[in-house]
Structure 1
Amino acid sequence: MTIILHELVGADPARPFSPHCWKAVMALAHKGLPFERSNVCFTKVPEVEGGVSKTVPVIRDGDQVVSDSFMIAAYLEETYPDRPSLFGGEGGQAMARFVESWTNTVLHGVMRDIAMKGIHDALAPVDQAYFRSSREARVGKTLEQMVEGREAALAALPGTLMPVRVTLKSQPWIGGSSPLFADYIVFGALQWVRLTSNARLLEADDPVKDWFERCLDLYDGLGRSVPQSA
């Protein structure tokens, strides 16, 4: 049975940009599970699967409905143990929780000012109004003020990624010898900005750049199938 993945899109349904939805996409591909992508705009999220969640991604796997990217990964790991592991064991799952916490609280904080205006501009008008009001209330800044912080955010990004850079100097993936869900968590953040901004995030000689390019090539170029923002 094909799994249905509800994921966030803007005015162009061919350009899904949510970092959390990309984590779910990569997790499903990692498991080698067939899935169908269902497009959802911001203002339609409350209608997904009867309002099961305030956010996407949400998956339906037969009678099972699961929300939240980490919970989706944990569900896939438990339900399909014969498929390639997303965590490499209980300890790996616990460590992935740390990577997610760092990404959500530190890395996303830097990425926000780079991405927010681009996200707004990619939405349909009804979603633009919702996005502006909700994000400005959450952050305490206007979108224009976030744009003013874009250069400072770009300057701060290399230092913010230092833990990832140091890790990748001694191993090819955050997960070790092969990619795991921890890789997809950080990948989702960089993919988010790649698809909403034309900013050059990483220098050519940066180990994080090499890692990100390899992530884009995984699963027949799944991440690269959506071109970078012009």
Structure 2
Amino acid sequence: MKIKMYDLVGAENNRAFSPYCWRIRMALAHKQLEVETIPWHFTEKEAIAFSGQEKVPVIVDGDQVVFDSWNIANYLEKTYPNQPSLFGCSQAKSQVLFIKNWDEKVLIPALLPMLIYNVFEHIDAKDKTYFRETREQKLGKTLEEFKDVKQSQIDNFRTILSPLRETLNQQPFLAGEKPKFADYIIFARFQFARSISPIKFLETNDPVNMWREKMLDLFNGLARQNLGYN
């Protein structure tokens, strides 16, 4: 039986852009598990009401319902121990937790202001009022105030990536010789940007960009097939 996964999409069903959903799409492919992705929009709260909350990703595996990308990754690792490991070992899992927190506390604040207006441009018409009202209330600014991205913002983001750059100068993936969930966490953030923004956040010869290209090719180009920019 295929695992069902509710996946946030834009105006087109093949423009999946949630970084948290991309973590799990890559994790499911890594685990070699069959999945049925169900396109989901911001205002379709009723469709996932059975999960007891209002955000994706949500997976349904038989009679099991799991939400939150970290919880889902741990569920997949525990439930399918004979499939390729997402973490490698318990010690590595602790290190991946640091990567998760670094992504959410450092990368998001630097990247999201440059992408928030692009999200608004690419979501379905029925989601636009909801998105504008909720984001403007949270951010204290109009979406249009985020429209013009400054080069200094891009430069700052590239500087923040220094730890990734140094790591990828010494090994092919963040997890070592082969990609694991640490890679999927960070890659998902770049896939979010690629799905909705034409901005070139990485120089071509940047080790982070070369790693990103390898990630795009994984699993028969799963992420590359998603509608987006280069």
Report the TM-score, using the length of structure 1 for normalisation: 0.96
Contact 2:51/2:67 (8 A) holds in 1: no
AA in 1 matched with 2:177: S
C-alpha separation in 2, matches of 1:214 and 1:125: 34
Residue of structure 2 in register with 1:75 after alignment: 75
Contact 1:73/1:86 (8 A) holds in 2: yes
Residue of structure 2 in register with 1:10 after alignment: 10
C-alpha separation in 2, matches of 1:12 and 1:144: 23
Deviation at 1:156, TM superposition (A): 1.2
Counterpart of 2:197 in 1: which secondary structure?
coil
C-alpha separation in 1, matches of 2:51 and 2:90: 31
C-alpha separation in 1, matches of 2:49 and 2:4: 11
Deviation at 1:140, TM superposition (A): 2.2
Deviation at 1:115, TM superposition (A): 1.3
Greater CA drift, 212-221 or 156-165? 156-165
What percentage of residue pairs aligned between the two structures are identical?
40
* Deviation string, structure 1 residues 75-130 (Cα, Å, up to 9, x no partner): 00000000000001111111111111111111111111221111101122221111
* Structure 2, unaligned runs of 5 or more: none
C-alpha separation in 1, matches of 2:176 and 2:135: 36
Counterpart of 1:5 in 2: which secondary structure?
strand
Deviation at 1:228, TM superposition (A): 2.6
Residue of structure 2 in register with 1:188 after alignment: 188
2:149 equivalent to 1:168:
no
Matches within 5 A, 1:19-98: 19-98=19-98
Counterpart of 2:97 in 1: which secondary structure?
helix
Change (3 A) 1:143 1:152: farther
Matches within 5 A, 1:102-117: 102-117=102-117
Contact 1:113/1:150 (8 A) holds in 2: no
AA in 2 matched with 1:114: M
Change (3 A) 1:199 1:149: closer
* Deviation string, structure 1 residues 160-199 (Cα, Å, up to 9, x no partner): 1111001111111001111010100000100001111001
Counterpart of 1:55 in 2: which secondary structure?
coil
C-alpha separation in 1, matches of 2:100 and 2:154: 21
Contact 1:113/1:153 (8 A) holds in 2: no
* Deviation string, structure 1 residues 127-173 (Cα, Å, up to 9, x no partner): 11111111122222221122234533212111011110011111110
Runs of 4+, deviation exceeding 4 Å: none
Deviation at 1:46, TM superposition (A): 4.5
Deviation at 1:51, TM superposition (A): 4.5
2:213 equivalent to 1:213:
yes
C-alpha separation in 1, matches of 2:27 and 2:174: 15
C-alpha separation in 1, matches of 2:177 and 2:170: 10
Residue of structure 2 in register with 1:155 after alignment: 155
Report the TM-score, using the length of structure 2 for normalisation: 0.96
What's the RMSD between the two structures over aligned residues?
A: 1.4
AA in 2 matched with 1:129: T
Contact 2:11/2:122 (8 A) holds in 1: yes
Aligned residues: 230
C-alpha separation in 2, matches of 1:177 and 1:34: 25
Deviation at 1:210, TM superposition (A): 0.5
Change (3 A) 1:150 1:70: farther
